[in-house]
């Protein structure tokens, strides 16, 4: 009986050792495929278009309209941490090897507790203005890199409100595609963080499918009751689907100024001096 116990103990240790070897082999010798769904912790409802990525590594994806995602993690990143970020929810960060062991995955995001914006009532009549880049040059375009997989890209402009109480009325961008009739975009407003887009200014999902034939497109912001007195970055985030959605799509621009872009979910923002995105907001100040 004692010999059987010793044998069982040895076998258990061997199995555990083999599991560790297997995990180490995955971490060092091959890519990892992660597949699952992102849902709300409170309601269990699927969360669409969640940004999923490794921070500062420019590699990620976005969940689809049903919260599902597939991500192939290259071998050099399998020991990193994967983050899940959705508007109105706390960011969830989990080691990739932990996710690999738990598949199939169900990631539950917890809702953020947010405070209402303070609205200052002013007696003077406010003026309607356009802030940002309202012009464009036909030869200047912003275009994403062609890449495999389903991931976002995003461009942004800096909007200076000069410390005035500002109500956002609408956002405008110049879009062109020779292939697509329409494309899915998310409009984001970011706080200024050392000269780059930082945390979200408002926790509201401004998601719209916009026409992609060449011309200006407009997004009504009045339903979101957005007021601010701080400068911010106006971002337009392209959310690719399948098939033709991955094909050519351009954003207008003009020479001069500065533009900002990132090419993956939760990736690094890059600053480009010498050209700016044709994008502006109509506001009431």
Contact indicator for 153, 261 with CB cutoff of 8 Å: yes
* Total tally of structural domains belonging to the chain: 2
Statement to judge: residues 132 and 243 lie in one domain:
yes
**Containing domain of residue 143, as a range?**
128-284
Mean pLDDT of the chain: 85
Q: Please, are residues 175 and 237 in contact by the beta-carbon 8 Å criterion?
A: no
Per-residue pLDDT, 8: 37
Indicate yes or no: pTM above 0.85: no
Does residue 80 sit in the same domain as residue 142?
no
pLDDT digits (tens, 9 = 90+) for 209-250: 999 889 999 999 999 999 999 999 999 999 876 544 445 789
160 and 97 housed in the same domain: no
Residue at a domain's end among 81, 109, 137: 109
Statement to judge: residues 261 and 138 lie in one domain: yes
Is 118 within the bounds of a domain?
Answer: no
* Residue 73: CATH number of its domain: 2.60.40.1120
Give the residues across from 252 on adjacent strands: 141
User: H/E element holding 19?
Assistant: helix 2-29
Identify which has the larger pLDDT, 25 or 70.
Answer: 70
Q: Give the CATH number, domain containing residue 227.
A: 2.60.120
Residue 186 lies in a domain: yes
Instruction: Determine, yes or no, domain membership for 26.
Output: no
List, for residues 55-74, the tens digit of each pLDDT value: 988 889 999 999 999 999 99
pLDDT tens for each residue of 112-145? 876 655 555 566 688 999 999 999 999 888 876 5
If pLDDT is split at 50, 70 and 90, which confidence band does 31 have? Answer: confident
């Amino acid at each position: 009986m004692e010999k059987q116990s010793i044998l069982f103990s040895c076998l258990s240790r061997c199995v555990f050792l083999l599991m560790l070897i297997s995990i180490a082999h995955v971490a060092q010798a091959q890519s990892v495929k992660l597949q699952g769904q992102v849902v709300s912790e409170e309601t269990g409802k699927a969360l669409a278009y969640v940004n999923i990525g490794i921070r500062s590594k420019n590699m990620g994806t976005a969940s689809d309209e049903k919260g599902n995602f597939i991500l192939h993690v290259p071998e050099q990143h399998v020991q990193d941490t994967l983050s899940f970020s959705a508007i109105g929810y706390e960011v969830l960060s989990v080691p990739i090897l932990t996710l690999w062991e738990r598949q199939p995955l169900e990631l539950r995001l917890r809702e953020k507790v947010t405070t209402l914006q303070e609205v200052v009532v002013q007696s003077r009549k406010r003026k309607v203005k356009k802030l940002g880049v309202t012009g464009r040059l036909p030869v200047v375009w912003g275009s994403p890199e062609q890449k495999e997989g389903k991931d976002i890209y995003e461009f942004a402009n800096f909007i200076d409100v000069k410390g005035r109480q500002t109500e956002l009325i609408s956002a405008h961008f110049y879009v062109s595609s020779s292939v697509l009739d329409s494309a899915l975009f998310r409009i984001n407003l970011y706080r200024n963080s050392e000269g780059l887009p930082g945390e979200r200014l408002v926790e509201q999902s401004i998601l719209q499918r916009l026409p992609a034939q060449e011309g200006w497109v407009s997004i009504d912001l009045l339903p979101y009751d957005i007021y601010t007195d701080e400068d911010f970055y106006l971002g337009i985030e392209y959310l690719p689907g399948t098939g033709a959605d991955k094909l050519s799509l351009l954003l207008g621009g003009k020479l001069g100024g500065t533009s900002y872009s990132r090419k993956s979910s939760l990736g690094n923002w890059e600053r480009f001096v010498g050209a700016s995105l044709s994008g502006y907001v109509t506001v009431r100040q």
